[in-house]
């Protein structure tokens, strides 16, 4: 594997560990080809937008409205109305947690440092740092802030073991040798800011791990795909041989298991259930993509492939019909009509209507427990 500009980041390493084939495809973003069209989605656009807004505020001494518009404009086609309010809330949090007694040394800065030499080629480790500050009263003390816009909080334990923050700690000490003490802050804009630190021994440990992982990448010739949690969102899933393998392999494993009622242990079934879930996401993604292509084909070509395009019809009662039904049925009408919470939340008087609702217990559902 030849790395673009002989550089690699921790996100790339993580991607390789999840799926070598997706990693190889994703590395094209570091070449002239740039990011692939599917790189930005509704799932990740908000995080990019709020980072853009915070960077704009820092670099241009802009107001919140100016910064928000700068971030929103860049990703407008992916953002929803509630994202705008989230940006306003997150900008207020960012302002409230602003740092004093420091000078800014990096804002959304691309940094790379030499890591090791592989077969005569210098390999660099790169990163994009959200914020790096230097204390005015003690210039040997640096503060690194990494902003996170996730809807779910990370525990303190997760932050302290986070490989990205750990690797960035080593990189910052290498890039700014005048830094003798580094405080890192995992700033969860919707939750709390978690400080974390690493010792010289820990920095040596993460450097050794990076060298070992990246050596494995460089020595890999065939980037074979692996089934993983991100298969359902992979930009190259449609051409991935793992699609066929996933269905065949999982079906074979299911057939090989004894009937579940006679199983002495449920562990193999639970493990397989998670594999089936991953395979299902991948196969659904494949099916939906092929269906979308079929819909766009000319009628003749679609017919050659054995499909035809039909209109889907549904029956509904417009407001005037509902009024007429109420006049006919009286109070029996309310037994037929259901109001959804989603529809109520979009109504201007939602605050008055929501308290009128009653909760009812539904069927139980399984959710995987989070481990800390």
Average pLDDT over residues 11-22: 91
> Which tens digit of pLDDT belongs to each residue from 221-231?
888 888 777 77
Burial 231-242 (b: 16+ CB within 10 A, else e): bbebeebeebeb
pTM for the model: 0.69
- pLDDT of 283-340, one tens digit each? 777 788 888 888 888 899 988 988 888 888 888 888 899 999 999 999 898 888 888 8
Rounded Cα gap, residues 138 and 201, in angstroms: 23
Helix (H, G, I), strand (E, B) or coil at 114: strand
Q: Categorize the per-residue pLDDT at 124 as very low, low, confident or very high, splitting at 50, 70 and 90.
A: very high
Place of tokens 């959710």: 367
Q: What is the DSSP letter of 25?
A: H
DSSP code, position 31: S
Write the pLDDT tens digit of every residue in 149-208: 888 888 899 999 999 999 999 999 999 999 999 999 999 998 889 999 999 999 999 999
Average pLDDT, the chain: 86
Summarize pLDDT for 42-100 with one digit per residue, the tens. Answer: 778 899 999 999 999 988 889 999 999 999 999 999 898 889 999 999 999 999 988 88
């Amino acid at each position: 594997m030849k790395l673009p500009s002989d550089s690699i980041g921790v996100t790339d390493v993580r991607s390789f560990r999840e799926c070598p084939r997706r990693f190889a495809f994703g590395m094209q973003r570091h070449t002239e080809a740039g990011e692939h069209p599917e790189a930005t989605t509704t799932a990740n656009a908000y995080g990019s937008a709020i980072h853009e807004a915070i960077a704009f505020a820092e670099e241009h001494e802009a107001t919140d409205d100016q910064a928000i518009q700068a971030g929103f404009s860049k990703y407008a086609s992916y953002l929803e109305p509630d994202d705008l309010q989230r940006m306003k809330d997150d900008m207020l949090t960012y302002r409230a947690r602003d740092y004093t007694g420091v000078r800014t040394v990096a804002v959304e800065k691309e940094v790379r440092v030499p890591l090791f030499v592989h077969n005569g080629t210098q390999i660099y480790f790169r990163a994009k740092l959200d914020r790096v500050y230097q204390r005015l009263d003690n210039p040997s003390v640096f503060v690194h802030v990494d902003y996170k816009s996730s809807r779910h909080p990370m525990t303190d334990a997760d932050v302290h073991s986070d490989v990205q923050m750990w690797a960035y700690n080593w990189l910052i000490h290498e890039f700014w040798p005048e830094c003798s003490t580094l405080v890192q802050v995992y700033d969860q804009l919707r939750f709390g800011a978690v400080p974390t630190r690493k010792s010289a021994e820990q920095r040596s440990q993460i450097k050794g791990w990076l060298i070992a992982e990246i050596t494995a990448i460089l020595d890999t010739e065939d980037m074979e795909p692996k089934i993983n949690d991100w298969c359902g969102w992979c930009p190259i899933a449609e051409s991935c041989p793992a699609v066929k393998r996933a269905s065949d392999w999982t079906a074979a494993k299911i057939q090989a298991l004894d009937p579940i009622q006679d199983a002495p242990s449920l562990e193999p079934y639970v493990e397989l259930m998670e594999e089936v879930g991953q395979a299902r996401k991948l196969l659904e993604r494949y099916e939906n993509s092929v269906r979308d292509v079929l819909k766009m084909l000319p009628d003749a070509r679609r017919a050659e492939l054995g499909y035809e395009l039909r209109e889907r019809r549904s029956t509904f009662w417009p407001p005037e019909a509902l009024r007429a039904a109420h006049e006919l049925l009286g109070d029996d009408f309310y037994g037929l009509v259901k109001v959804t919470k989603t529809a109520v939340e979009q109504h201007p008087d939602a605050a008055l209507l929501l308290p009128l609702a009653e909760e009812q217990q539904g069927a139980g559902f399984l959710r995987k427990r989070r481990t800390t």
